[in-house]
Structure 1
Amino acid sequence: MGDTKPFTRALYVTRIEAASRQIEAAIDAFEIGSFDVAVTLACAAEGMAPPNPKGLFKLMMQSPRWGDLTEKNRSSKVNLTRDWLKHRAEDKPGRLLIEEAEAAYCIVRAMSVWEPWTPKIDAFGHQFLQALGKPRTGPHSANS
């Protein structure tokens, strides 16, 4: 680091830049199995934007991977995990199971409220659609 003083660097970012960085970091964490980190970062990015669900989010909500859970129950499960990671409370369990699908859900929820997507975010969306067995269409399609 040379002669620079420690802890003196700064970073200017716009909201979209910050959200994109958080989503990309969530994807990195997801890929190595750090689902708690992925959920935390993705939910932070989502929380920076007004609600704006896109087609990818709707496809995810229809996925049979969620079993019999309704859309409201799916969101409730993710929100419970988000809140468990974010807030300390005596009435919460001491240990929490976070599944891969739940972390992916959080990332896609964040993606659905922010555009434009970076190449990394777009690739995750493509991977997600492939996992659902859905064709890639819409504004982030290779054909658009």
Structure 2
Amino acid sequence: MTRLELRDVRKNFGALEVLGGVSFDVGAGEFVSILGPSGAGKSTLFQLLTGAIRGEGEMRFDGAPLDGARFAFMPQRDALMPWRRVIDNATLGLEVQGMTRRAARERVAPLFAEFGLAGFERAWPAELSGGMRQR
């Protein structure tokens, strides 16, 4: 079963073509790595998936047009705020979008186990390993 579909996804920055017709499918349960040299468009592709920028082409998730709301990514260097506990870092995006702190915490709480972070919700970022910080 295909979960994510990209068809002829393109992105230009002025005259510079960064992505020129990217197409692929990702099935349920598949693990995908995006590899390439600096400047190949890896970050641009992720920004398109998250809705941070707009491009051309078709992106679908579970058959529906992708609006960016289902994806997020952590850049190679994490952007965790050291003065906020891990759960507060995890809820920040939802709170900025207007969700209450309580509702945001209820929404992200189940994800800690999924990402191998159960029990670290109240930890400070400095208490996590590099891999845990990335997750």
TM-score (norm 2): 0.29
Q: Indicate the structure whose relative CO is greater, using CA pairs within 8 Å and at least 6 residues apart.
A: 1
- Would you tell me which structure has more helix in proportion to its own residues? 1
- Would you tell me which structure has more strand in proportion to its own residues? 2
TM-score (norm 1): 0.28
